[in-house]
Structure 1
Amino acid sequence: MENISLTVLFSVLIALFLCSAFFSGSETALMSLNRYRMRHLAQTGHRGALKAQRLLAKPDRLIGLILLGNNLINILITQLATYIGYRLYGDIGIALATGLLTLCLLIFAEVAPKTFGALYAERLAYPAARVYALLLKPLYPLVWSINLLSNTVLRLLGVRANEAQQQALSSEELRSAVNEAGSLIPRKHQRMLINILDLEKATVEDIMVPRNEIIGLNLEKDLDELASELVNSQYTRLPVYVGNLDQVLGFIHLRKVLALIYEDRFSIDELRLLLKDPYFIPEGTPLNRQLINFQRERRRIGLVVDEYGDIQGLVTLEDLLEEIVGEFTSDPAARSPEVIPQADGSYIVDGGIHLRELNRVLGSHFRLSGPKTLNGLILEYLEDIPDANTSVLIDHYPIEIVQIKHNGVKTARIGPRLHR
């Protein structure tokens, strides 16, 4: 090597440093790749993503290849730098080369390329994956031997490389990913995705119309009175029963029965023929499960029953979809007639309103783990039926009972949230 000029030796040394930087940076880049984005790109035919996906499917093989190349290059750098130092300054040059080489390797072959790989993972990882795919073919026997020895050591320690599996995102991790998407997903769509994830946290009791508020047809009424209720109904589907709601016969669609009324063919018998069998929903059913059940059963409305079979309320597909997309109207008064804003900044609220809806309309933060309605929340807090004009502070919101009816809070006034 004494006949080789120092210029050539320095050129080779620089080239080796670049190779070492490539191995170090590409290792970090490949391990920092967003696996879900990589999978998406691979499905669209991105060659670099396809090769990276195949390499990362066997991480022990990839790491073995990278470390084999990186260590080989670093050994060559050490030998060459030591020789150059010796040629320039003799024995002192060897010591100088060792100190300088440590600093150069740390900066130019480790910290800088690894930082670049972490910051620009895709820019470096996908081209590097093509290089590694080519290197793996001739070096496979050597890499396989190294992996065999390293995996044997791991097995002795109770670790098996083939047992490692990629974990799917939990709902909380997916929620964080959606929130951090920024401008990649429109804000409205982000809210819808979050609402879908939140469906599993709510049950049908959280959105159902309570039993005492269900509007239906009682076949014990006079025929003319039934016809009047049908013509003036604001709902498309109504439960039909005899005497009380526990004797429900089914649901009627107004589109089918109004034609009979206008053609003067309306009768109880004709009405019964148009009924669709009632659909019952067990209480405690999560909203995400009920959405699937509605789709599977091809239903849009159902009655919620408790463990004894007693009807507790009514749920519609529209109510469930509003949990995802929000209200179908932008008019605040039409959106929630149960919440009436006042001039002083407070709100007159119906006691039967669901707390989830109240939180959505007011932006409040009433806890949802207990009672489902405002009336239930107040009664649980006071452990008694209050008198009108009683005031309480619940979850930092001042609440004044305005009206009591049928042993419950009919209306209440909610003021702005008090700071702690």
Structure 2
Amino acid sequence: MNLFEISITILALILTSSFFSISEIALAGARRIKLKLLSESGDTRADKILHLQENSADFFATSQIGLNAVAILGGSVGESALRPYFQAFLGKFYQGAWLENLAFFTSFIFVTLLFILFADLIPKRIAMISPEKMALAVINPVLVLIKICQPLAWIINGLANLIFRIFKVNTTREENITFDDVSAIVDAGAEAGVVLQQEQHFIENVFELEERTVPSSMTLRDDVVFFTLGEPAESIRQKIAEYPYSKFLVCNGTIDHVIGYVDTKDILVKIMSNQAQIQLNETTIRNVLIIPDTLKLSELLDRFRSSKEKFAVVMNEYALVVGVITLSDIMMTVMGDWVTPIDDEQQIIQRDEKSWLIDGVTPIENVMHALDIDEFPDWDNYETIAGFMMYKLRKIPRPADFVEYEGYKFEVVDIDHHKIDQLLVTQLPVQMKEIIE
């Protein structure tokens, strides 16, 4: 063969090898989510790719047959055909005993570099840039090649399966999508600007409903405003005026003896009708949903949906009321500041770049978000930042008691009847943080 025929042969082999390289990367790397969207839009090639990914043994066998056959053929043909030309070129500069060996190594390195660069590296990088697009382009020719190589692929797969069984290797591909997978996709979307920061916060909070329990979002027992049976009308009017809640508990003496709840609008209707007496009786008191404090927020959403209620009383294992929770409380957990009234007292107040004032009843999840802390130790044992302090100190805290964790100093600054009312959180200097770690 002359130099032109040799060049055409090598070019054909490189193109064939590059096709197998592109096919291997593109079909293996094509994302199922995008392929399903293409399938739903009517592209039948996407269905073929999805089926091939689920039954990939024949494809990989065919790909390896093609790649290895072309590589072996290209090496033998290219090296032997180009060696005389390299020998003639090198002979102009050297005529010693090593001339033939130099020509062999030179032609071998040249052909190898051509295949590495144009048949392997560049095609695979192109396939990685847009795997779905490339997979759609090559799927039909690949299916034809699989049918042609079916007998040999069957033998190779049989030997591979035998080896897998001997070494007990599980070849089943898992396609389960976890929260971490979704979170990683959302984070990538936020970095790319596709997902807004606020939208990212919403999505993460929605998934947190599976992790957070009811006490993390409820109104605590000490803050619950309730009516008692036989409470004077003037007292009822005063509480409605002072606390603009839509619903109030009705209790028999103490908060632990819950009878039901009243809707504020029912009482306001009587006030607007100029009724002198406002009595809490069967016509105004409604049955209240009572839930255990061990429920997850996602489970409570199901309870609200099935019962058609938006208000619930939270009880512990001793049948004592620990708080109340509404559908709005859950929405505030998801939406954050978007649904929090502006004039509400903030639980986390940033004083400057490195210090925060935090209420003791602040849910631990909110503190994690505010301080960018991934996890608190054994946080299944407590719900609030006050609980974290008691868990770490192993005692009833006093003012000036502190805990250092994750580069922050959590210091008790106010106590109200043995209850942590407020904490001062300061970020430690870098040197101090390294010493703690």
The verdict on a shared fold, with TM-score over 0.5 as the criterion, is yes
Distance verdict in 2 for CA 1:383–1:49, change over 3 Å: same
Report the Cα distance in structure 2 between the residues aligned to 1:127 and 1:344, rounded to whole angstroms. 53
Distance verdict in 2 for CA 1:345–1:138, change over 3 Å: closer
The aligned residue for residue 30 of structure 1 is 27
TM-score under structure 2 length normalisation = 0.80
Report the Cα distance in structure 1 between the residues aligned to 2:18 and 2:35, rounded to whole angstroms. 23
Q: Determine if contact 1:24/1:109 at 8 Å carries over to the other structure.
A: yes
The aligned residue for residue 94 of structure 2 is none
What are the superposed Cα offsets for residues 92-142 of structure 1, whole Å, 9 maximum, x if unpaired?
A: 776664443333333332233233333443343321223212333444444
- State the secondary structure of the residue aligned to 2:174: coil
Report the Cα distance in structure 2 between the residues aligned to 1:386 and 1:142, rounded to whole angstroms. 75
Distance verdict in 2 for CA 1:293–1:44, change over 3 Å: farther
Report the Cα distance in structure 2 between the residues aligned to 1:343 and 1:16, rounded to whole angstroms. 66
Q: How does 1:256-405 map to 2 (within 5 A)?
A: 256-265=266-275, 271-328=281-338, 334-337=343-346, 350-357=359-366, 363=371, 367=376, 369=379, 370-378=381-389, 390-395=399-404, 396-397=408-409, 399=411, 401-402=413-414, 404-405=415-416
Structure 2's unaligned 5+ residue stretches are 89-99, 433-437
- State the secondary structure of the residue aligned to 1:180: helix
Distance verdict in 2 for CA 1:371–1:9, change over 3 Å: closer
What are the superposed Cα offsets for residues 202-232 of structure 1, whole Å, 9 maximum, x if unpaired?
A: 2111122111211111113223423443455
Instruction: Identify the match of residue 4 of structure 2 among 3, 7, 10.
Output: 7
What are the superposed Cα offsets for residues 24-52 of structure 1, whole Å, 9 maximum, x if unpaired?
A: 23212322233333333333334443332
Q: Determine if contact 1:346/1:413 at 8 Å carries over to the other structure.
A: no
Q: How does 1:24-103 map to 2 (within 5 A)?
A: 24-82=21-79, 84-85=81-82, 97-103=107-113
Distance verdict in 2 for CA 1:356–1:103, change over 3 Å: closer
Report the Cα distance in structure 1 between the residues aligned to 2:340 and 2:247, rounded to whole angstroms. 24
The aligned residue for residue 168 of structure 1 is 176
Instruction: Identify the match of residue 419 of structure 2 among 404, 408, 418.
Output: 408
Shift, 1:418, TM fit: 3.2
| Number of residue pairs the alignment of both structures matches | 409
Instruction: Identify the match of residue 17 of structure 1 among 14, 35, 38.
Output: 14
Report the Cα distance in structure 1 between the residues aligned to 2:77 and 2:388, rounded to whole angstroms. 78
Shift, 1:194, TM fit: 1.5
Mean Cα deviation higher: 230-239 or 190-199? 230-239
Shift, 1:381, TM fit: 5.4
Aligned AA for 2:173?
A: Q
Mean Cα deviation higher: 84-93 or 191-200? 84-93
Report the Cα distance in structure 2 between the residues aligned to 1:49 and 1:246, rounded to whole angstroms. 61
What are the superposed Cα offsets for residues 225-271 of structure 1, whole Å, 9 maximum, x if unpaired?
A: 23443455411112111111222122222223321232245767674
Report the Cα distance in structure 2 between the residues aligned to 1:364 and 1:124, rounded to whole angstroms. 40
The aligned residue for residue 200 of structure 1 is 210
Superposed CA RMSD in Å reads: 3.5
Shift, 1:23, TM fit: 0.6
- State the secondary structure of the residue aligned to 1:200: coil
Shift, 1:189, TM fit: 0.6
Report the Cα distance in structure 2 between the residues aligned to 1:125 and 1:406, rounded to whole angstroms. 68
Q: Determine if contact 2:45/2:139 at 8 Å carries over to the other structure.
A: yes
Distance verdict in 2 for CA 1:61–1:296, change over 3 Å: farther
- State the secondary structure of the residue aligned to 1:28: helix
Shift, 1:379, TM fit: 5.0
Aligned AA for 1:393?
A: F
Shift, 1:291, TM fit: 2.7
Distance verdict in 2 for CA 1:124–1:328, change over 3 Å: closer
Shift, 1:352, TM fit: 4.1
Mean Cα deviation higher: 99-108 or 371-380? 371-380
Report the Cα distance in structure 1 between the residues aligned to 2:166 and 2:109, rounded to whole angstroms. 38
Report the Cα distance in structure 1 between the residues aligned to 2:169 and 2:312, rounded to whole angstroms. 52
The aligned residue for residue 150 of structure 1 is 160
Distance verdict in 2 for CA 1:73–1:343, change over 3 Å: closer
Matched, 1:109 2:119: yes
Aligned AA for 2:185?
A: A
Q: Determine if contact 1:398/1:417 at 8 Å carries over to the other structure.
A: no
Report the Cα distance in structure 1 between the residues aligned to 2:351 and 2:118, rounded to whole angstroms. 67
Shift, 1:349, TM fit: 5.5
Shift, 1:19, TM fit: 0.8
